[in-house]
Amino acid sequence: MFECFLEIAYEAELNTDEDQELLEYSSKLCNENLSTRDAAITELRKMIFDRDECEPFRTDDEFLLRFLRARDFVVPRAHKLLVRYCAFREQYPHLYKDVDLWELVKVGDVFEGCMFDRPDVGRLTIMRFGRWDPSEYPVEDLVRTGVVMMEIGIRQPKIQVLGGTVLVDLQGLSLRQVSALTPTIAYQIVNLLGVSTPTRLNSCHIINYNWLLNSFFYIFKKFIPQHAWDRIHFHGSDLKSLHKHLDPVCLPERYGGTCRIHGSARTWLQKIKKYRGEHFDREMKQLGFIIKE
């Protein structure tokens, strides 16, 4: 079932046609109005050239629309986000440039996704830091995988509109993993959660933590914007607390849920490699990634 779903999903993501349901959600969640959308895109493009605060590698309608949706079609806010996005790419080119997309399958199931997308949750991404073995690959590859998941995800209009939810599972976290999470890495991860990327973060949930959380979270908290704190929830190991915020139908069985449409980053990348098209390859190469057959 999962393989069939992915085949349909990645064929469909290249289709730019917008259905009525998506437009209705976008109107409610992103303040998008079809009658003024083109004018907003034109205004954002003009602001880019007039203010000259960044040099985006793309300024086409499809690309700029991502930033407008992420900031509720408030053009100055969308422009500010685009400036941060460009600055992030310039500051950390190694996260994009010459990164072989398919080699990131080595990250395995540290990242997972549940594709039971709906307005209150969007796409659920699960980060299981305790399953990462620092002796197998560096922490930078975890961040690169996060970058890839973000960049591929926001190609889909549905994800631009519905946004996403992040579940951070700290089960198995050890001092070895915490010691590798430098302030620079923490800053990069926080920026991927909507601070410097055209993504809509609905909420972030942290579960299965222990005394190491103080060390783990201290690294991150100084980079988290004040306005984001009301979307961050701590549950310990209490699944009932988690279920008060996330409907079990959106969660895998591991967390008391019933969602079976989920898989690891490894499976995700393998399926994308199989079902991708020329448009996908062109966009990823434009971002700096290496695409091998």
List the structure tokens of 24: 């209705």
Half-sphere CA count of 158, side-chain side, radius 13 A:
19
Identify whether the C-beta of residue 247 lies closer than 8 Å to the C-beta of residue 121: yes
pLDDT score for 28: 95
DSSP string, 73-111: T-HHHHHHHHHHHHHHHHH-GGGTTT-BGGGGGGGTTSE
pLDDT score for 222: 81
Identify whether the C-beta of residue 161 lies closer than 8 Å to the C-beta of residue 30: yes
pLDDT per residue rounded down to tens, the chain (293 residues): 344 334 334 444 444 456 888 999 999 999 999 999 999 999 999 999 999 999 999 999 999 999 999 999 999 999 999 999 999 999 999 999 999 999 999 998 899 988 888 999 999 999 999 999 999 999 999 999 999 999 999 999 999 999 999 999 999 888 888 888 888 999 999 999 889 999 999 999 999 987 667 777 777 888 888 888 888 898 988 999 999 999 999 999 999 999 987 789 999 999 999 999 999 999 999 999 999 87
Residue with tokens 């960044």: 54
pLDDT score for 78: 98
For helices 265-275 and 139-153, angle between their N-to-C axes, nearest 10 degrees = 50
Residue 206 to residue 225: CA distance in whole angstroms: 17
Residue 105 to residue 205: CA distance in whole angstroms: 25
> What three-state secondary structure class fits 177?
helix
Identify whether the C-beta of residue 153 lies closer than 8 Å to the C-beta of residue 164: yes
Residue 189 to residue 220: CA distance in whole angstroms: 9
Amino acid present at 185: I
Residue 70 to residue 74: CA distance in whole angstroms: 9
pLDDT score for 223: 86
* Cα four-point dihedral sign 12, 100, 107, 266: positive
List the structure tokens of 104: 């990131």
Amino acid present at 171: Q
pLDDT score for 211: 67
